[in-house]
Chain A
Amino acid sequence: MTEILVLENVVKKFGKVIALNVDRLGIEEGTYNVILGPSGAGKSTMLRVVAGLDYPDSGKIILEGNDITNKPPWERDIGFVFQNYALYPHLTIYDNIAMPLRVKGLKEEEIKQKVTEVLKIMGLEEHINKYPRQLSGGQQQRVALARAIIKRPKLLLLDEPLSNLDAKVRIELRSYLKSLQRQLKITALHVTHDQSEAMAIADNLIILHDGAVEQIGSPKDVYENPKTMFVATFIGMLNVLPSSILKLNDGFDALGFRPENVDILENKEEGTIEGDVKYVEFQGDETIIYVDVENNSIRIKDRENRFFETGKKIYLKIKKAFAFKDGKVLKVIELA
């Protein structure tokens, strides 16, 4: 695998606020990369800096070995998909998709052939002479996608491409995005704040926090082996208990564990924690039990869908936990 895109010491400030501060980030060719983080983490800034819509204050951006840091977007060989589609409202679907080709000065026949081909891939042939407003949100975003890939760019950049769509279309389109990326063997960089979207499509998750890359890895790896407390709490649900409750003196500040990594026992056993049931939320495939442990609120997922009266004493046996020190994960403790 070769790295197609590298960011080196990239810093972008807005006034005095450091929006982005990346030491080094390499993106491997042909992979689907999702940039995930809370709002204000610098996700969109990172994408815009790669696209050339913003320029970094310092650092280097290298695409296929060429320094593109100061190049305008149109010299970067990228496709960009905007959150609100950004289709030209006064142009037909055909003319929208043809725009990048017309700029390149291609012959009209060639343009026609390429546009027709991409519309076929997208399943939009019948809409060729419609205007964007006459299409649904999902269709408009597919047109935007078609416009972004028609030049066969090296890099496909997607800025929250699904967040304006309703839930059902969002899920359909996200699997479509992934299969399209596979089919075209293109490298994708996709920004989202939606965790389940990120987990579903990413080959690599890039977790951003306060403008810096906190962790990179496959969704499974990031979920199971978070490096920091931020990542552990941001990806998936996490319960955190101070080490004092656990009577552990191994130099940890706190212990974090996922709601599914707990066994519920009705009787006290060695190594269990006592708690009071606050309430129970039945969700169908599982039940979430809210437990009070010395004034700490804990959530536990129970696959057996047991029911507990409020106030009932239960005993929790933690099977897998992260030991935190100064916000970092010191080690992963497996107890089961």
Chain B
Amino acid sequence: MGRMVQLSHYIVDPFFGLVFKNTIFYMVTVPFIDIALAIPLAAILKRTDSKVLLLLILLPAFIPFVTAAVAWELVLNPFYGPVYYFARFNWFRTIWMIVIMDVWESLPMSALFLYAGLKSIPPEIEEAAKVDGVRGIKKLMQVDLPYILPNILMALVLALIFATFTFDPIFVTQGEVPPMSNVDLAYYSYQQFFTGLIGYAAVLIIIMSAMSTVMSYAFVRVLRGSPSNRPAKRTTSRWQKFASRFPNFEVPRPAVWIATIIYLIFFLFPMVWIFLESIKTSAQIFEIPPVIVTTTPSISHYVSAVVQGMPFLISSLITAVGVMLITILIGTPAAFAMSRYNFGGDKLLIYVLFVYTLPSIIFMLPLYEIMNALHLINTFWALIITYPVFVLPVVIWLSYNFYKNFPKHIDEAAQVDGMNLVSAFFKVILPMSIDGVMIAVLYSFIISWGALIFPLVLTYSPFSMNLAAPYGAQTYSIFIGATLGHESVHYGSLAAASVISLIPPAILLYIMRDRLERMYRVGGTKG
């Protein structure tokens, strides 16, 4: 009987159609807008070859998605946001708002993938194109894009996974938008879980698992597939005939500059706005028309964002550091064993990639049950133990690629010198892997710092501020997304907290600026 009830939920649920439609909408729009915008952006990055530009453009991918959603929410507010002046439109009534947030967050990584692809085109191919006389737009269409097709597919699949399981912006905008208007499967399953309909949430999660497995399969195929050995079906590809119609000239410099400026405005505007918002006085925040730059800057919002937010900040830092240590201690040796001794074979590697692409919402239910059984709910441990589920695959994959290019004779020399495998790894290999470890450290920190779903599910109160009897572990992303976002209209504190949340990622991004090229094979576009 109980089973029948749940089945009937599934069938008669009046919202299911809308939720499914929204999911498909994100799935179709975001990845294609993403790639369409990423191609010119990657071409600009290659043409300008500016590290500063690269850093500025990558920033959105590294700041917490919650922060991004909050920033856009403040920007798109038709009364108090800057859109009042140039796009006064009720953005909160359209689900394109979510599409904008998704694209903003995932576009940098897609562009980085494509940019890395463009940079990997061998110089002699570039020269052959020069001698053949193909250049500019025509070269992009006839030579570059077909060459980086695997990169394009990979970016497309990652953006697809990212968009299909959009969670953070929907979470942040609840209460501001018409009820259910932008909800997708991921958020809906969380809602069901939260209202106690755990069985129905499980059904939704199974549907999502099936969807994401198909996408993961596509991802692994693109990443690990070897090129076919069969000749082409036709002697000449239709694409070549089509692409050869494009004009054979370089885009003039001024046009490149204009495009660069448009991209930069798109990427930096929300961040600039939350900063401007955060230093306004409380009264100015609700002025219509909105104040752009305040003449009476105030730090009062920062004070409250730090004072009120302190327990959350502590939770986030403890969790991020704990996760970092666990993932490095487990992840790097695993990656080393996998790359050097083929540990686990292709199966383990493919499994890691599979988990890597799964959206974290899928793990929500089982991990909740496990943590509940262990009586760890609402503790730091719940977060530190569970985060590695989605952090470890990233760290292993990054380190795996790092160790593939690591000189082989070093650990062999250590072994000949009488160390066993374990001591050789920790005494010789690890200290020599600073580059690879650094990237893993920074990545795991950034992912942990921005995590939202797991802390929402596994914690329910802020840290008690008592280290002797610690209790409560809500993170700073919850502080921003829920405490300030949903339950009040403290836009000033919200903006200030958002600015604070993007400081650590910005610092880390700056530190790893020279290592960015090496991580191109792995996307960070996972919420």
Residues of chain A at the chain B interface (Cβ within 8 Å): 51-53, 72-74, 78-80, 82-84, 86-95, 98-100, 102-104, 108, 127-131, 133-134, 147-148
Contacts and interface: CB of A to CB of B under 8 A. Distances in A.
B138 A103 contact: yes
Interface stretch (B231-239, B270-278, B424-432): B231-239
A102 B244 contact: yes
Given A84-B124, A90-B147, A92-B237, A74 B231 contact: no
A88 B235 contact: no
Interface in B176-232: 227, 229, 231-232
B280 interface: no
Contacts of B125: 86, 88-89
Interface string B140-165: 00110011010000000000000000
B246 to A, nearest CB: 11
A94 B130 CA distance: 19
A84 B127 CA distance: 12
Contacts of A72: 130
B131 A103 contact: no
Contact of B232 (A84, A92, A104): A92
A134 B244 contact: no
Contacts of A108: 241
A88 B231 contact: no
B132 A91 contact: no
Contacts of A130: 231-232
Chain B's interface size range is 20 to 34
27 contacts: A73-B127, A73-B130, A73-B133, A74-B135, A79-B131, A80-B127, A83-B124, A86-B127, A86-B128, A88-B125, A88-B146, A89-B125, A92-B235, A94-B235, A94-B236, A95-B235, A95-B240, A98-B240, A99-B132, A102-B142, A102-B240, A103-B248, A130-B231, A131-B232, A134-B231, A147-B132, A148-B131
Which of A90, A92, A129 has the most CB atoms of chain B within a 10 A radius of its CB? A90
Contacts of B129: 99
A26 B217 CA distance: 61
A99 B134 contact: yes
B366 interface: no
B122 interface: yes
Contacts of B132: 74, 99-100, 103, 147
B133 A100 contact: yes
A130 to B, nearest CB: 4
A78 B131 CA distance: 8
B142 to A, nearest CB: 7
A51 B146 CA distance: 26
Nearest to B148: A90
B123 to A, nearest CB: 9
A104 B248 CA distance: 10
Contact of A86 (B122, B229, B236, B244): B122
A74 B131 contact: yes
Nearest to A53: B127
Given A131-B231, A134-B229, A80 B241 contact: no
A53 B234 contact: no
Contacts of A148: 131
Contacts of A74: 130-133, 135
A134 B134 CA distance: 25
A98 B130 CA distance: 15
B142 A98 contact: no
Contacts of B124: 82-84, 86
B142 A90 contact: no
Contacts of A83: 124
Given A95-B235, A129-B234, 4 more contacts: A73-B131, A95-B237, A131-B227, A131-B231
A301 to B, nearest CB: 40
A94 B232 CA distance: 10
B116 to A, nearest CB: 17
Contact of B231 (A90, A129, A147): A129
A240 to B, nearest CB: 39
A89 to B, nearest CB: 7
Which of A83, A92, A93, A127 has the most CB atoms of chain B within a 10 A radius of its CB? A92
Nearest to A85: B124
Contacts of A84: 122, 124
A317 to B, nearest CB: 52
Nearest to B228: A131
A103 B133 contact: yes
Given A82-B127, A86-B122, A99-B134, A133 B235 contact: no
Contact of B240 (A52, A80, A91): A91
A99 B147 contact: no
A90 B149 CA distance: 9
A148 B131 CA distance: 9
Which of B135, B231, B236, B248 has the most CB atoms of chain A within a 10 A radius of its CB? B236
B236 A95 contact: yes
Contacts of B142: 99, 102
A103 B133 CA distance: 6
Contacts of B244: 102-103
B235 to A, nearest CB: 4
Nearest to A116: B235
Contacts of A98: 236, 240
Which of A87, A91, A98, A130 has the most CB atoms of chain B within a 10 A radius of its CB? A91
A83 to B, nearest CB: 8
Contacts of A104: 133
Which 9 pairs from chain A and chain B are nearest by CB? A74-B133, A86-B124, A94-B235, A86-B128, A102-B244, A90-B146, A80-B131, A103-B133, A129-B235
A129 B147 CA distance: 17
Contacts of B138: 103
Contacts of A82: 124, 127-128
B130 A129 contact: no
A88 B147 contact: yes
B244 to A, nearest CB: 4
A133 B133 CA distance: 23
Contacts of B146: 88, 90-91
A228 B135 CA distance: 45
Contacts of B233: 129
A257 B125 CA distance: 45
Nearest to A83: B124
A87 B234 CA distance: 18
A112 to B, nearest CB: 8
A192 B240 CA distance: 34
A62 B154 CA distance: 48
A74 B128 CA distance: 10
B236 A92 contact: yes
Nearest to B237: A95
Which of A79, A103, A133 has the most CB atoms of chain B within a 10 A radius of its CB? A103
Contacts of A79: 131
B254 to A, nearest CB: 21
B288 to A, nearest CB: 55
A9 B231 CA distance: 49
A94 B142 CA distance: 14
B227 A133 contact: yes
Nearest to B240: A95
A91 B236 CA distance: 8
Contacts of A89: 125, 147
Which of A99, A108, A134, A147 has the most CB atoms of chain B within a 10 A radius of its CB? A99
Contacts of B240: 91, 95, 98, 102
A89 B133 CA distance: 18
A109 B131 CA distance: 23
